[in-house]
Amino acid sequence: MKSTVFTNTHISLGAKMAPFAGYRMPVEYSGINDEHLAVCRAVGVFDVSHMGEIWVKGPSALAFIQYLTSNDAARLTPGKVQYSCFLNGQGGIVDDLLVYCFDPHTWLLVVNAANIDKDWAFLCRYAPCFGLTPGKELYNASDEICQIAVQGPHALDAVQKICNDDLRRMPYYSFAKTTVAGIRGAILSITGYTGAGGCEIYVDNADGLRLWEAVFEAGKEWDVKPAGLGARDTLRLEMGFCLYGNDIDDNTSPIEAGLGWITKFSPEKGRFLDRDLLLRQKETGVARQLVGLLMSDRGVPRHGYELCDDAGNRIGTVTSGTMSPCLKQGIALGYLPPEWADPGTVVGVKIRERLLKATVTEPPFQKN
């Protein structure tokens, strides 16, 4: 089991630790609801050092990324970030990821922790076709980099204290190499998986504890809190963000998952894995769609629960679900046939053999 540079800090803070994606990670400190609300109202800090970072460099780097991903990376200019997904050649999703453009020949791919080895093998399989050598132009730096996500309405206020660059001038889905807490060459990005605003900061492992301590010192006036994977999950679910392994995987297409907006078919994008199959899905439709669900009856939907019609016949499946800390209602994502996927449609969620009502709702669930 791997540890991050912050593992001993988490333990000293009383975090409940658990295995996740091969790492010992904090699930919660003061409680999932408390941490969730702290991020929504002020500022919270997540250790996301388990995420993977893979560099792609050289004159064929862009062509390589364009062929393997769904989005159009050619639209990126230096300092911009893009959400995308790797396609598996059969219409499914290998992983979802962030693509960072440093310059036309230098790119960083940030991938999910549980998929680092899988993604690396996937990239290495196609690298020779583009003249890229694993370990050289294609380089897995995941074990060398730590990352924290500082999230919440006062996150940038706190980080601004230890960064000379004007963070408020940075647009959404942009990044900069900068100095944070005196650490030169830090990568600071404005993306976020919580919907609460804030930034992510990447530094070498050797600088991790220095960064952590500086962020917590800077955030004292807003009662900055450490937050665990539990709150990260409830926050992303209130926003309706997909989680790989639950809502998307090798057997779901981006069109089914409502990710058509990151699947480009323009001439500028050119040919890419699964282009024809996904274009056909876009034009003719799919057999199921990922939807948001808001419980009308009192109950908490969970991954794997059945979605049913009025007669109790199974018509779909919950992929992610929780009790929303903000709404105090059960919320979920799940797949339904298109005829059941319109907002306002009422379906049943089978919870302990009871059929409880839920309404199809377009995320985000928490809109304020």
CATH fold for domain 287-368: Elongation Factor Tu (Ef-tu); domain 3 (2.40.30)
Q: Shortest CA distance to 112 belongs to which of 155, 162, 53, 168?
A: 53
Return the pLDDT at 355. Answer: 97
Cβ atoms of 151 and 196 closer than 8 Å: yes
**pTM of the predicted structure, to 2 decimals:** 0.96
Write out residues in the chain with pLDDT < 70, as ranges: 367-368
pLDDT value of position 95: 98
234-261 pLDDT, tens per residue?
999 999 999 999 999 999 999 999 999 9
What is the bridge-based pairing of β-strands 44-47 and 225-227?
A: parallel
Q: Would you say domain 7-51+144-239 falls under CATH 3.30.1360.120?
A: yes
| Topology annotation, domain 52-140 | Alpha-Beta Plaits (3.30.70)
Q: Where are the domains of the chain?
A: 7-51+144-239, 52-140, 287-368
In one-letter notation, the amino acid at residue 329 is Q
Backbone angles phi, psi at 102, to 5 degrees: -90, -45
The pLDDT value given to residue 366: 72
Contact between 315 and 308 (Cβ < 8 Å): yes
Cα–Cα dist 200/187, whole Å = 8
What confidence score (pLDDT) does residue 367 get?
A: 59
d(CA 183, CA 162): 10
Q: Where are the beta strands (DSSP E) in the chain?
A: 16-20, 23-28, 44-47, 52-57, 80-87, 93-103, 106-111, 138-140, 145-151, 174-180, 183-190, 198-204, 225-227, 289-295, 306-308, 314-323, 330-336, 346-351, 354-361
pLDDT digits (tens, 9 = 90+) for 329-367: 999 999 999 999 999 999 999 999 899 999 999 999 975
Q: Is the dihedral of CA 14, 301, 322, 263 positive or negative?
A: positive
Q: What are phi and psi of 101, to 5 degrees?
A: -100, 115
